[in-house]
A and B are shown apart, each in its own frame.
Chain A
Amino acid sequence: MFKKLRAFIYAAFGIALSLACGHLLASVLGLLPASLWGMLIFSAYLALPVVPSKKLGSAIDVAMVYMPLVFLPICVGLVQYGDIVSRLGWKILLIGASSTLLLIVVLGMISQRLLIRDVLPDGAEDD
């Protein structure tokens, strides 16, 4: 129990530190939102030899399961745009689904025929 709590505290500290650095980088360099800079920094933080990344990982894995909960209140904001949903809902659904299907098929074919075979010849090591 204490070990789990300690892993959560380590993870929370790493995330807070990475986010703070992310805000700094976003204000200086721009390019990406602060949270995405933070994501890259957090990834590098986990790679540090002094950070117990396995223990932190188990804590983050638990948190990831509940990740969608955080988006729920913002998504409920859709209630304010009922007119958009009733007016354009079917168009959004049709465009979203068809474009996604097109992307999956085209990218799958390109990846298989051009990229994988060229870059990863037969017998290349898999992960």
Chain B
Amino acid sequence: MGLKMTEPLRELLVAVLMLGLTLGCFLLWRKLQRATAWAWLNPLLMSIASVILFLLLTGISYESYWLGGQVLGALVEPVVVALGYPLYKQRRLFFRHWRALLASSFIAVFLSLTSLTLLARLAGIDNTVLLSLVTLNVTTAVAMETSAAMGGLASLAAICVMIAGFTGVGLGQWALKRSGVSDERAVGIAIGAGSHALGAATLTARSMQSAAWASASLILCALLTALFAPHWVPFLLSL
């Protein structure tokens, strides 16, 4: 007598398998990155590529994958809240240098949003993609939320965030050196505002001072982007 699988049981099995695939993939790539210490082997980026490849090869739909993925997806909001800890850790820096940090973050956010909107418009990119692109200089969690709130695609926004991160990791410090920027605080502000947590993490190898400024800068830029992007970007698009 064959075992008949009910629909809820089948869904549960698919959910567990997809969750296992996601966890396994991420942990494997993380282990590989730690073993090689190669920044480009980013666990998130490599896991996205691996899971997408797996889904395409097996013909499993995203809806089926999401049965398991939603367990992790439900944790996005709490994870954003947990970013309050790095904000708390940098409180002394914020209180002591709030003018410099606020002014540079304002400049960064408006420069980023304006240049990205104008360049995307010039390149003839449609609004949905443009709204996913404009938040690429802030940390993933905030970029996804802000972009989706404006009508962009959260998944594409996360990929765009990686582009900014890897640009900063690969070329940021070299470009700053070529431009004559040597002040550790300025380097931190610039890398944090342009390449968020990925850039800030690489600065720890350079100096803790620049890494601390990068952390403070990226948090402030994330907040200002979430605050101004939903107003500034539609305004630019209406011109």
Q: How many interface residues does chain A have, given as a range?
A: 35 or more
Please report the C-alpha to C-alpha distance between residue A99 and residue B122 in the assembled complex, in whole angstroms.
Answer: 13
Please report the C-alpha to C-alpha distance between residue A92 and residue B133 in the assembled complex, in whole angstroms.
Answer: 7
Interface digits, A17-40 against B, CB 8 Å rule (1 contact, 0 not)? 011001000000001111110111
Q: Tell me whether A38 and B84 are in contact in the complex, defined as CB-CB below 8 angstroms, given that A75-B48, A76-B62 are known contacts.
A: yes
| Chain A residues whose C-beta falls within 8 Å of the C-beta of B171 in the assembled complex | 101
Please report the C-alpha to C-alpha distance between residue A16 and residue B74 in the assembled complex, in whole angstroms.
Answer: 13
Please report the C-alpha to C-alpha distance between residue A127 and residue B225 in the assembled complex, in whole angstroms.
Answer: 25
| Chain B residues whose C-beta falls within 8 Å of the C-beta of A31 in the assembled complex | 227
Q: How far is the CB of A63 from chain B (nearest CB, A)?
A: 6
Which listed residue, B89, B125, B136, touches A91 by the CB 8 Å rule?
B125
| Chain B residues whose C-beta falls within 8 Å of the C-beta of A110 in the assembled complex | 104, 107
| Chain B residues whose C-beta falls within 8 Å of the C-beta of A43 in the assembled complex | 84-85, 87-88, 91
Contact check, B26 vs A72: say whether CB atoms are below 8 A apart: yes
Contact check, A119 vs B97: say whether CB atoms are below 8 A apart: yes
Q: Does A96 contact B (CB under 8 A)?
A: yes
Chain A residues 79 to 127 lying within 8 A of chain B, measured CB to CB, are: 79-81, 84, 88, 91-93, 95-112, 115-116, 119-120, 125-127
For chains A and B in complex, what number of residue pairs have CB atoms within 8 angstroms? 294
Q: How far is the CB of A65 from chain B (nearest CB, A)?
A: 8
Q: Does B92 contact A (CB under 8 A)?
A: yes
Please report the C-alpha to C-alpha distance between residue A35 and residue B84 in the assembled complex, in whole angstroms.
Answer: 10
Q: Does A41 contact B (CB under 8 A)?
A: yes
Number of chain B residues close to chain A: CB under 8 A:
101
Q: Tell me whether A107 and B183 are in contact in the complex, defined as CB-CB below 8 angstroms, given that A64-B82, A77-B155 are known contacts.
A: no
Q: Does B108 contact A (CB under 8 A)?
A: yes
Q: Does A1 contact B (CB under 8 A)?
A: no
Q: Does A50 contact B (CB under 8 A)?
A: no
Contact check, B112 vs A78: say whether CB atoms are below 8 A apart: no
B51 to chain A: closest residue by CB: A76
Chain B residues 143 to 163 lying within 8 A of chain A, measured CB to CB, are: 144-146, 149, 153-156, 158-160, 163
Chain B residues 77 to 124 lying within 8 A of chain A, measured CB to CB, are: 77-89, 91-93, 96-97, 99-100, 103-104, 107-108, 111-112, 115-116, 119-120, 123
Interface digits, B56-67 against A, CB 8 Å rule (1 contact, 0 not)? 100000100110
> Can you pick out 7 interface pairs between chain A and chain B where the beta carbons lie within 8 Å of each other?
A61-B85, A72-B51, A77-B154, A81-B156, A99-B137, A100-B163, A110-B107
16 new A-B contacts, CB < 8 A, other than A36-B142, A74-B69, A127-B212, are A11-B82, A34-B77, A35-B80, A38-B81, A46-B88, A74-B76, A76-B52, A79-B52, A84-B129, A88-B125, A102-B111, A103-B137, A108-B186, A111-B186, A112-B181, A119-B103
